[in-house]
Amino acid sequence: MRWLQLPEGVSTISPTIDQMFYIILVVTGVAFILTEAVLIWFAFRYRGRPGVRAHYTHGNGRLEVIWTVVPAVMLVFLAFASRTAWNKIKGSIPPTDQTVVVTASQFNWEIRYGGADGEFDTADDIITSNDMRLPVNSKTRIRLRSKDVLHSFFLPYHRLKQDAVPGVTIDVWLEPNKTGTYEIACAELCGFGHYSMRGQLTVMEPGEYRQWIEEQEAALQAATAGETPAATGESGAATPPPA
Ligand SMILES: [Cu+2]
């Protein structure tokens, strides 16, 4: 059933997340349909009828044990299964090929690359607004920050979602395995402009990605040297903030 499916998964963690999602969907879906069917059947079967006296019962010990033990066993199974997925994805960050700093603010994603020196918060940082580029089949460490309130960095197609919390830097990692342009959404109601807090992640071939980085560096150098105004447009490379 196409309408029941998640959007295409385009990162290495997608299969793990999707598997957990579908297992939980089936377990809760079957339980929901069964209990609703019993509820409707009982409402019909035991409805009030003239001349029929209500029957009082003190319950059924065996039935109660069954409907307690079966869900308990299922929940323990789900707990262990999700523990395995959690450890694989959140347990530790594998060695990564590049680092990007993402700073959330009302209502914008600031994407920061280390620039020529590879150090962050220096004059040669490449900064874009809502425009993130990453190479395909390569691991990236994303350092999440927030300037004002709680936001949630959400890459639905990459199955990545993480809160951005003011005052702390939270590291996540990502390995996209398909090129293309995907949505970056804010998944935490963060104010009146929350709906407009959208960015774009472009996953590129490694060569294209390096070329883009070099172009941004060149534009920044030119802007700093005062030869040409800062590059504008889609990539939105801006002059770095004062140190
Ligand atoms: Cu937000």
Domain boundaries, the chain: 11-43+61-91, 98-225
pLDDT at 21 > cutoff 60: yes
If you measure from the C-alpha of residue 183 to the centroid of ligand 1, how many angstroms do you get, rounded to a whole number?
Answer: 14
Taking all residues of the chain, what is their mean pLDDT, rounded to a whole number?
A: 89
144 and 171 Cβ atoms separated by less than 8 Å: yes
- Hunting for tokens 């150098």 — which residue is that? 221
- Confidence class of residue 242 from pLDDT cuts 50, 70 and 90? low
Q: What is the Cα–Cα distance from 146 to 228, expressed in whole angstroms?
A: 32
CATH number 2.60.40.420 is the correct assignment for the domain at 98-225: yes
Q: At what angle do helices 14-45 and 61-86 cross, to 10 degrees?
A: 160
pTM listed for this prediction: 0.80
pLDDT at 98 > cutoff 60: yes
If you measure from the C-alpha of residue 108 to the centroid of ligand 1, how many angstroms do you get, rounded to a whole number?
Answer: 7
If you measure from the C-alpha of residue 218 to the centroid of ligand 1, how many angstroms do you get, rounded to a whole number?
Answer: 31
Q: What is the pLDDT of residues 113-124, one digit of tens each?
A: 988 888 888 888
User: Which of 56-70, 163-177, 211-225: highest mean pLDDT?
Assistant: 163-177
240 and 127 Cβ atoms separated by less than 8 Å: yes
If you measure from the C-alpha of residue 61 to the centroid of ligand 1, how many angstroms do you get, rounded to a whole number?
Answer: 50
- Hunting for tokens 């290495």 — which residue is that? 12
If you measure from the C-alpha of residue 206 to the centroid of ligand 1, how many angstroms do you get, rounded to a whole number?
Answer: 30
Q: What is the Cα–Cα distance from 155 to 175, expressed in whole angstroms?
A: 12
pLDDT at 192 > cutoff 90: yes
Angle of CA points 129, 202, 146, to nearest 5°: 40
- Confidence class of residue 57 from pLDDT cuts 50, 70 and 90? confident
- 183 has which bridge partners? 200
Residue 236: what pLDDT? 46
Residue 123: what pLDDT? 83
Angle of CA points 162, 181, 123, to nearest 5°: 70
If you measure from the C-alpha of residue 28 to the centroid of ligand 1, how many angstroms do you get, rounded to a whole number?
Answer: 30
Residue 23: what pLDDT? 92
- Hunting for tokens 């150090």 — which residue is that? 119
If you measure from the C-alpha of residue 186 to the centroid of ligand 1, how many angstroms do you get, rounded to a whole number?
Answer: 5
Which residues touch 87 (CB under 8 Å, ≥6 apart)? none
Q: What are phi and psi of 190, to 5 degrees?
A: -120, 10
Query: Once rounded to an integer, what is the mean pLDDT over residues 8-25?
Result: 93
Q: Are strands 160-164 and 151-155 parallel, antiparallel or unpaired?
A: antiparallel
Angle of CA points 97, 169, 200, to nearest 5°: 60
Query: Once rounded to an integer, what is the mean pLDDT over residues 194-212?
Result: 94
Residue 34: what pLDDT? 94
If you measure from the C-alpha of residue 187 to the centroid of ligand 1, how many angstroms do you get, rounded to a whole number?
Answer: 7
Which residues touch 85 (CB under 8 Å, ≥6 apart)? 16, 17, 19, 20
Q: What is the Cα–Cα distance from 26 to 39, expressed in whole angstroms?
A: 20
If you measure from the C-alpha of residue 102 to the centroid of ligand 1, how many angstroms do you get, rounded to a whole number?
Answer: 12
Name residue 21's amino acid. F
